[in-house]
Structure 1
């Protein structure tokens, strides 16, 4: 994105001179510096590994084509100034220099976009303008935005020192398959890591990019993110320069869409960690974690053998990424609806710009347990307010009706103990009696699961009240 082309620069010769200077400055900066230089090293408490490695070279800022203003839209999609071509206010700064007038100021306001250019900072009005431009461009291309987490979502990485004896075969496999473009196991010597791609990820990216503009957004270090991007996208077809890492976050230990130059109403997020998206839960598709390596399972408290140790893996055809791809396809189809098969007019773009993919995702999610009425028994303390419990809220988000009392309309009793009064009632009245994992599995797999696979096998020794 060329900020000289997209910023509200004057048409005067002096402004043209500054625009030329700005482009030249970007050329120099992108060849000599990288966004990760001079970044403070901060500790991550996200579930992803914080891999600290030497910084990588930064890509050049690319051109974003100017577009005409959307007729009848309340979204500003013009590349022209929103107000008079004077400063202040300054639209943004590169190395402390205003993008419009060239004035040098020590202004730390606005939002930093270090993944676009190391020293770029934009104010809120300019961000809104660029998002308006992006909104129109994406809708014309009939695309939405997909934010893609890395670790435990589309891959799993382990430090070489943590590889168990039963996993050593993977290092030999990574070495022997270096010439195989379709391999899924990689050793990253400079980072002392072994990385395993989640099954189906290559097909997933190939299909998803037809419907979405894809960003990488990881809490890991930028050097690691760039290295993984080379593996997933060696030809820079999927991500381009849209690679956001921990150094780009504006709030410690939190991911946010404030550093994405795209409308939130177009964004879907794939991430295994809900807590880092506190401000954007409605955009989130929560992913079941991919634990391939033994060290990953230990990190999350699992004692059973890992996929790597048992030499097994997720299914390509009906694994998590395949399931979520179908959800994305449906969300995309529902969002654009009848507009998919026609050439879009300005009026069509205006109508589409008022739509919100978060509402579409909510409708899809509510179909999962539609028709189910659930009563909980000893899943949470009886003294707790049932409506405030996460599992109750999750069941409702999936379309179920939740109740505190049993009656003839109840279809499921969810319990940890098959000897409770409500559990016995379920068995006596031909109702489904399942454990809480039935709801959790439905959430991850986006469909109602077979109740027979989630039976209560034993009663807890010390059940809650």
Structure 2
């Protein structure tokens, strides 16, 4: 069905969605389900051109999984697309558990043929997405993603993506994912000079990796949103009308660094407005208070150099001196990370 005029569309004409009428939304809410929008690349999986496989990744060619039983595999050689794709660890369990709480959509800036091929790898039995696959061919804004394509009420929608800039109008719905860089070409694309996971012949941990973390967050959001449910559908509609999943997400996020007061030391470029820096914004979203005034109420000094005046003060006053990655890790894992795991090397500056 055309999202603009309501005309029925053939499959080849583009995305096939049933317009989400109020009736459909009532049914979803009756079954305690919300909407979940999932990005593909660097969120659920990582792909590379076969031509870009490095010499240290050649071992992968002999480790690809058979497509006879896709549901058991995670590394696929798609020769017809000249592509190799690696599914992120825990993704199958993640999709299974998320499907019990959400109606899920794939939304990618890749083209439609690629999106459908990835959907086959992730959902070979068509249990989770059905026709709910959105590609750049279906978007209404160039280089931007929008919930106008999904047609669901924003207060009932969560988004999982590795790129905040793609959702400038819907940041409050977004759970930002740490990017999954399995292949060397992916690292190079984002300017990293380090070896990729595949080159090191390792991978994210199934038990406490990105998807294992975020499914826990989704469960908490879902539980809070549907708490104190009322028995009748009419009462349910009235009760849920005032609820907003974005507020639930915001509240949970602010619990992560609640009670922390942070000052930064030589982390931002000279003359850069501190309050506009991503780290400052992240810390505040996590519930921390950020300041430019050094006093006894400060609990954390964030720095990369232990030799700065503020860093030395932190050591002297027995305050936490942590690397900026402490904030990032706490943000992605939705949990305050151990400060000792992100200490600033004092020997290098002595």
Query: Shorter-chain-normalised TM-score: which range?
Result: over 0.9
Alignment of 1:204-215 (within 5 A): 204-215=94-105
Deviations 1:277-299 (A, max 9, x none): 00000000000000011111111
Deviations 1:251-308 (A, max 9, x none): 1100000111211101100000111100000000000000011111111111222111
| Aligned mate of 1:245, from 132, 135, 141 | 135
Q: Secondary structure at the match of 1:332?
A: helix
TM-score by length of 1: 0.71
Aligned equivalents of 2:249 and 2:280: distance in 1? 19
| Aligned mate of 1:230, from 120, 123, 136 | 120
Q: Is 1:203 aligned with 2:103? A: no
* Residues 435 and 455 in structure 1, CA contact (< 8 A), matched pair in contact too: yes
Give the drift of 1:232: 1.0
Give the corresponding residue for 1:324: 214
Aligned equivalents of 2:2 and 2:293: distance in 1? 61
Q: Secondary structure at the match of 1:289?
A: coil
Q: Is 1:266 aligned with 2:156? A: yes
Give the corresponding residue for 2:289: 401
TM-score by length of 2: 0.93
Give the corresponding residue for 2:316: 428
Q: Secondary structure at the match of 2:89?
A: coil
Aligned equivalents of 2:269 and 2:195: distance in 1? 32
Which segment is superposed worse, 415-424 or 239-248?
Answer: 415-424
Q: Secondary structure at the match of 1:227?
A: helix
Q: How many residues are matched?
A: 347
Give the drift of 1:338: 1.9
Alignment of 1:149-228 (within 5 A): 149-174=39-64, 178-179=68-69, 181-228=71-118
Alignment of 1:30-179 (within 5 A): 30=11, 34-35=12-13, 114-116=14-16, 130-174=20-64, 178-179=68-69
Aligned equivalents of 1:181 and 1:324: distance in 2? 21
Give the corresponding residue for 1:415: 303
Q: 1:428 to 1:2 in 2, by over 3 A?
A: closer
Which of structure 1's runs of 4+ aligned residues deviate more than 6 A?
458-461
Q: Secondary structure at the match of 2:248?
A: helix
Aligned equivalents of 1:200 and 1:452: distance in 2? 28
Give the drift of 1:169: 2.2
Q: Secondary structure at the match of 2:198?
A: helix
* Residues 204 and 322 in structure 1, CA contact (< 8 A), matched pair in contact too: yes
* Residues 307 and 346 in structure 2, CA contact (< 8 A), matched pair in contact too: no
Which structure 1 segments of 5+ residues have no match?
Answer: 8-21, 36-113, 121-126
Aligned equivalents of 1:460 and 1:147: distance in 2? 45
* Residues 146 and 167 in structure 2, CA contact (< 8 A), matched pair in contact too: yes
| Aligned mate of 1:449, from 331, 337, 340 | 337
| Aligned mate of 1:289, from 179, 184, 189 | 179
Aligned equivalents of 1:289 and 1:458: distance in 2? 30
Q: 1:382 to 1:157 in 2, by over 3 A?
A: closer
* Residues 200 and 321 in structure 1, CA contact (< 8 A), matched pair in contact too: yes
Q: Is 1:439 aligned with 2:330? A: no
| Aligned mate of 2:275, from 387, 396, 399 | 387
* Residues 132 and 263 in structure 1, CA contact (< 8 A), matched pair in contact too: no
